[in-house]
Amino acid sequence: MAGTHLTITVDADEVLAAHGRQAVPDTGPLMPRLGEYLQRSTEQRFKTQTAPDGTPWAPLNERYAKRKKQNKDKILTLRGYLRRYIHYQVQDDQTVEVGSNQKYAAIHQHGGSIAQAPQSRKMRFRKEGGRVSFAGRRHKNAQERWVTRGAYQVEIPARPYLGISSDDATEIREIIRAWLVERTNG
């Protein structure tokens, strides 16, 4: 899975020791249950706007917050693509990965710098009521001029959405316990 992900591995020896069983259980059917739970838990963090440890995500940059058109009050949500592309993937009988394959998923999880190259392009401007604004092709009285900006860095703070909270750890134990009871009684 490209982007970023969290890998969960269930140690069958620990499960056996905790329940005093001798045979190695087939944990394959357990992995989708864990994956579904962790996917839902991760998606819930986009509603609470908090990291797995309970700390709130870093607020939006003021300049970005002013120009953001959609979901102005939501961090990590412009159109909801990152949240919608959180999925789980069963790797084997003991491992499930939860994460996103979006190319920007890792920078939001871990934070970092994005280098922007210098640019130069022709822009169209128009004057209307003493104000200068951008003009499209349909504006006939627009002026064209070259605009250049230098290279710069964009700093993205870490806003962890993947991880296991203490509530998640408790729920994972309950899912495993319920699965073991089903196996024993079934």
Helix or strand (DSSP H, E) at 152 = strand 152-156
Helix or strand (DSSP H, E) at 84 = helix 81-84
Statement: residue 133 has pLDDT above 90: no
Give me the pLDDT at residue 24, please: 56
Interval 113-130: pLDDT, tens: 999 999 999 988 888 888
If pLDDT is split at 50, 70 and 90, which confidence band does 2 have? low
Tally of structural domains, the chain: 2
Task: Assess whether 89 and 181 both reside in one domain.
Answer: yes
Q: Which pair of structure tokens corresponds to residue 93?
A: 């009988």
Task: Assess whether 66 and 144 both reside in one domain.
Answer: no
Interval 35-80: pLDDT, tens: 999 999 999 999 999 999 999 999 999 988 898 989 988 999 999 9
Give the whole-angstrom CA distance, residue 77 versus residue 70.
8
Task: Assess whether 9 and 38 both reside in one domain.
Answer: yes
Angle (CA) 28 30 182, round 5°: 115
Give the whole-angstrom CA distance, residue 165 versus residue 162.
9
| CA 44 to each of CA 2, 83, 106: distance values in angstroms, whole numbers, following the listed order | 22, 9, 18
Task: Assess whether 119 and 108 both reside in one domain.
Answer: no
Q: Which residue has the tokens 């009285």?
A: 141
If pLDDT is split at 50, 70 and 90, which confidence band does 140 have? confident
Give the domain range for residue 17: 4-112+162-185
Q: Which residue has the tokens 């002026």?
A: 143
94: helix, coil or strand? coil
